[in-house]
Amino acid sequence: MRTKRITVMAMCIALAMILSYVESQIPSPGIPGVKMGLPNIVVVFCLYRLGGKEAAGISLLRVLLVSILFGHAASFMYSAGGAVLSLVGMILLKKTDKLGCLAVSVVGAVLHNFGQILVAWLLMGPNVIYYLPVLILSGTIAGVIIGMLSALMVKRIDPKL
């Protein structure tokens, strides 16, 4: 059973990396930093089907590998800052068992944006805070879409691990 679990986790990392690449090929809506968050479909799915530690490992490994392969130091800092804050919030919210994938995804998306703003604040100064409302709105919209897709996956795919 352990081999199957490791295999599923490796496939999830690969899928999240592929979704990161696909997302990088989608033209920006003209607002820097606004993305759909396609790899988070995998992270939310893993959170519900594999557990918090596994989802965190998959998410952080994806951030590292994608930054090495397609990004640079700054993209790693922004992605890692957002991912860590997002993961903490999603794991804690899921542990309450009061809300489903949709709410967990929205909270994760918004916290990801807070994490990115925090990194930007540290690198560029406090003026970046004015950009936060735009990111909260886009994060909420993306979080709803990603949450609905994640909920479908959680409902339909049971890896029995």
CATH, domain range 2-156? 1.10.1760.20
Rounded Cα distance between 86 and 88, Å, is: 6
Q: C-alpha dihedral over 105, 25, 57, 84, to 10 degrees?
A: -60
How confident is the model at residue 71, as a pLDDT?
82
How confident is the model at residue 136, as a pLDDT?
93
Question: What digits encode the pLDDT tens for the residues 18-71?
Answer: 999 999 888 877 777 778 899 999 999 999 999 999 999 999 999 999 999 988
Question: What digits encode the pLDDT tens for the residues 84-117?
Answer: 999 999 999 999 989 899 999 999 999 999 999 9
Question: What digits encode the pLDDT tens for the residues 134-156?
Answer: 999 999 999 999 999 999 999 99
Looking up tokens 């033209």 gives: 27
Residue 160 has pLDDT above 70, yes or no: no
Q: Span 2-23, mean pLDDT?
A: 93
100: three-class secondary structure by DSSP: coil
Domain ranges of the chain: 2-156
Q: Which long-range contacts (CB under 8 A, 24 or more apart) does 78-81 make?
A: 78/33, 78/116, 78/119, 78/120, 81/115, 81/116, 81/118, 81/119
User: Are the C-beta atoms of residues 59 and 83 closer than 8 Å to each other?
Assistant: yes
How confident is the model at residue 85, as a pLDDT?
96
What are the structure tokens assigned to 79, written together? 């992605």
